[in-house]
């Protein structure tokens, strides 16, 4: 349907078997069922709603990384009291989200074109939820992973707010250091960090060693893990209608994460100045 090389990506939109796909280079970024624009086939997107189990009364959300707008439009529809600011660096991706993925034009959704870090640095807003799902090809830009940036995010969170990150990595094994380093960085700032490797319950040790999408939730809220799991099982008192949401608690990883051999991620000296 669409193919163009923007300033940031080779963008492709295709329709296959009733599903519309957005790709950056070779990697799938968003999907939308043509018979239901609020549903797709990318599994990890549903896990972002776990943030509501941490902060059920959330009314203000920031989403860094728009893509086709899957999480933004679902929040807009499912939570009528929610106002969402979405940040996307590529203006062509914004156009695609509106024109081809049915992102709603509504006063409760504000789309900002810019680098997520720059937008946060210039903002005076406070949010209950902050979602980071921003990728350059298959990697999160490094400046969105550092201790300095995470502290900026914390400064824009309400006292019991929650940050949700989508990262790709492995918890154990030869290639786990980048993930474990980010986990250590996150844990250095927030009291609670919950880890949901997507598909952990089904794939177990294979997923932990060979990697995939991992959703991380971080917050200073006083919330026992047992209570978090109850909220998930009960769909946050029915507020979350995502299909299969009540089973996502099975993917909560509560085992050890080795961090003594990896550094906290920091900005390079040039950026710190």
DSSP of the chain: -EEEE-SS-EEEEEEETTEEEEEETTEEEEEEETTBTT--S-GGGGGGGGHHHH-TT--EEEEE--TT-HHHHHHHHH-TT-EEEEEES-HHHHHHHHHHS-----TTEEEEES-HHHHHHH----EEEEEE---BTTB--GGGSSHHHHHHHHHTEEEEEEEEEEEEE-SSSTT-HHHHHHHHHHHTT-SEEEEEETTHHHHTHHHHHH-EEEEEEEE-S---HHHHHHHHHTHHHHT---TTGGGGGGG-B-S----TTSPPP---HHHH-
CATH code of residue 39: 3.40.50.150
The reply to whether 106 falls in a domain is yes
Does residue 244 surpass a pLDDT of 90? Answer: yes
**Model-level pTM?**
0.96
Total domains present in the chain: 1
The reply to whether 11 falls in a domain is no
Does residue 273 surpass a pLDDT of 70? Answer: no
Per-residue pLDDT tens over the stretch 26-77: 889 999 999 999 999 999 999 999 999 999 999 999 999 999 999 999 999 9
Give the pLDDT of residue 186.
98
The reply to whether 21 falls in a domain is no
* Token pair belonging to 190: 């927030």
Give the pLDDT of residue 66.
97
Give the pLDDT of residue 271.
67
Per-residue pLDDT tens over the stretch 205-236: 888 999 899 999 999 999 999 999 999 999 99
Per-residue pLDDT tens over the stretch 180-202: 999 999 999 999 999 999 999 99
Domain that holds residue 97: 33-272
The reply to whether 1 falls in a domain is no
Mean pLDDT of all residues in the chain?
96
The reply to whether 24 falls in a domain is no
Lowest mean pLDDT among 54-58, 89-93, 172-176, 221-225: 172-176
């Amino acid at each position: 349907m669409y193919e163009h090389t923007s300033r940031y990506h080779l963008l492709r939109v295709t329709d296959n078997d009733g599903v519309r796909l957005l790709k950056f280079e070779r990697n799938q970024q968003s999907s939308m069922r043509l018979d239901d624009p609020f549903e797709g086939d990318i599994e990890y997107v549903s896990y972002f709603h776990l943030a509501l189990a941490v902060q059920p009364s959330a009314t203000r959300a920031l989403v860094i990384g728009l893509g086709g707008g899957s999480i933004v439009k679902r929040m807009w529809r499912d939570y009528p009291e929610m106002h969402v600011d979405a940040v996307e660096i590529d203006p062509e991706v914004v156009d695609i989200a509106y024109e081809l993925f049915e992102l709603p034009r509504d006063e409760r959704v504000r789309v900002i074109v810019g680098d997520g870090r720059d937008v946060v640095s210039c903002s005076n807003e406070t949010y209950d939820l902050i979602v980071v799902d921003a990728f350059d090809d298959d990697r999160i830009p490094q400046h969105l992973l550092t201790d300095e940036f995470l502290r900026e995010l914390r400064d824009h969170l309400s006292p019991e707010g929650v940050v949700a990150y989508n990262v790709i990595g492995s918890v154990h094994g030869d290639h786990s250091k980048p993930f474990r380093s980010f986990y250590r960085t996150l844990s250095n700032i927030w009291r609670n960090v919950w880890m949901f490797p997507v598909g952990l319950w089904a794939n177990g040790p294979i997923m932990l060693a060979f990697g995939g999408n991992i959703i991380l939730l971080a917050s200073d809220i006083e919330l026992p893990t047992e209570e978090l799991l109850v909220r998930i099982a009960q769909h946050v008192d029915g507020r979350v209608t995502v299909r299969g949401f009540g089973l996502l608690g099975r993917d909560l990883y509560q085992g050890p994460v080795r961090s003594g051999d990896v550094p906290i991620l920091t900005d390079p000296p040039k950026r710190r100045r």
